[in-house]
């Protein structure tokens, strides 16, 4: 999970760098096409299926729409707003997933967890700071991207575990390519042939995206979700460090407080699930 978060953070910085030379829609299309091509090649070499009829089910359709929404808005946020603040806001995704699971899947959420979710959303508001002098409506882009990714994660719960990493990789990166085409079409962006440095960054982005996507799927399938999810927040460390060291961004005290509230609330939300799992494991051990 830590490897996935590190590669995603660097991939975000690549998108931000290349966005100064290429339209965001074109960047997403090239990254998505390259990633889909990479996973397709790996699937052919390892003799794994590339496509599945599962792609034509409603959960997968919802996953594509959510992926499109998340990628378009979050990538736009990376290009137009500080990397550090976009990374912080994205960490509220698990909180939205909890709300969605309660509404759509009727999962039980106690009063403490609801309070924690509200606390996390307060943290997002503090980072966005709508009443502050430095507020920009562009900050909303990261929030919309966060909601899109939460929808994707919810839809992923209905995806059969029988689908291999390569099939999911092809599907995921094709969604990214589609989001790039949609963005380019909507804003009528012209195609710009990348220069040598842009091609190098794009190839690096495809490589990192492939590693990150494979790592996070493997982590979620092999390990306990409640035990692994906290390591998602290592992305904050990587994202903030890159933003400060390479892009000269400044982290305000209010943004740090908001980020702290998001992380704290997420741990509160995850604790009951982890506690129940520990009790089940203990009971199983006693029975043995």
What is the pLDDT, as a whole number, of residue 279? 46
What is the pLDDT, as a whole number, of residue 285? 31
DSSP at 136? -
What is the pLDDT, as a whole number, of residue 206? 96
What is the pLDDT, as a whole number, of residue 225? 59
> Which residues, 6 or more positions from 216, have their beta carbon under 8 angstroms from its beta carbon?
1, 4
Give yes or no for a contact between 1 and 228, defined as CB atoms under 8 angstroms apart.
yes
Give yes or no for a contact between 118 and 269, defined as CB atoms under 8 angstroms apart.
no
Q: State how far the Cα of 213 lies from the Cα of 5, in Å rounded to an integer.
A: 10
Question: What is the CA angle 212-214-217, rounded to 5?
Answer: 105
> Which residues, 6 or more positions from 249, have their beta carbon under 8 angstroms from its beta carbon?
82, 83, 84, 243
Task: Give per-residue pLDDT as tens, 55-91.
Answer: 888 888 898 899 899 999 999 999 999 999 999 999 8
Low-confidence ranges of the chain (pLDDT < 50): 278-288
Q: What ranges do the domains of the chain cover?
A: 2-108+135-251
């Amino acid at each position: 999970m830590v490897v996935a978060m590190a590669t995603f953070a660097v991939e975000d910085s690549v998108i931000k760098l290349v966005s100064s030379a290429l339209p965001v829609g074109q960047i997403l299309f090239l990254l998505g096409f390259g990633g889909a091509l990479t996973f397709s090649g790996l699937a052919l070499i390892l003799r794994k299926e590339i496509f599945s009829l599962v792609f034509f089910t409603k959960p997968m359709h919802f996953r594509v729409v959510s992926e499109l929404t998340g990628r378009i808005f979050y990538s736009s946020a990376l290009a137009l707003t500080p990397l550090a603040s976009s990374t912080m806001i994205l960490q509220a995704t698990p909180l939205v997933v909890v709300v969605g699971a309660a509404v759509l899947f009727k999962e039980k959420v106690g009063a403490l967890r609801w309070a924690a979710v509200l606390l996390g959303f307060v943290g997002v508001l503090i980072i966005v700071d709508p009443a502050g002098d430095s507020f920009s409506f562009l900050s909303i882009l990261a929030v919309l991207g966060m909601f899109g990714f939460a929808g994707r994660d919810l839809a992923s719960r209905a995806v059969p575990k029988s689908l291999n990493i390569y099939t999911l990789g092809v599907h995921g990166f094709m969604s990214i390519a589609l989001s790039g085409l949609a963005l380019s079409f909507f804003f009528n962006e012209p195609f710009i042939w990348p220069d040598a440095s842009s091609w190098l960054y794009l190839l690096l982005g495809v490589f990192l995206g492939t590693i990150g996507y494979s790592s996070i799927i493997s982590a979620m399938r092999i390990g306990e979700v409640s035990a692994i999810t906290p390591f998602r927040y290592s992305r904050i460390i990587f994202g903030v460090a890159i933003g400060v060291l390479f892009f000269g961004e400044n982290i305000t005290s209010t943004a740090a407080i908001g980020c702290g509230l998001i992380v704290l609330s997420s741990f509160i939300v995850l604790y009951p699930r982890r506690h129940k799992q520990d009790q089940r494991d203990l009971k199983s051990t006693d029975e043995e």
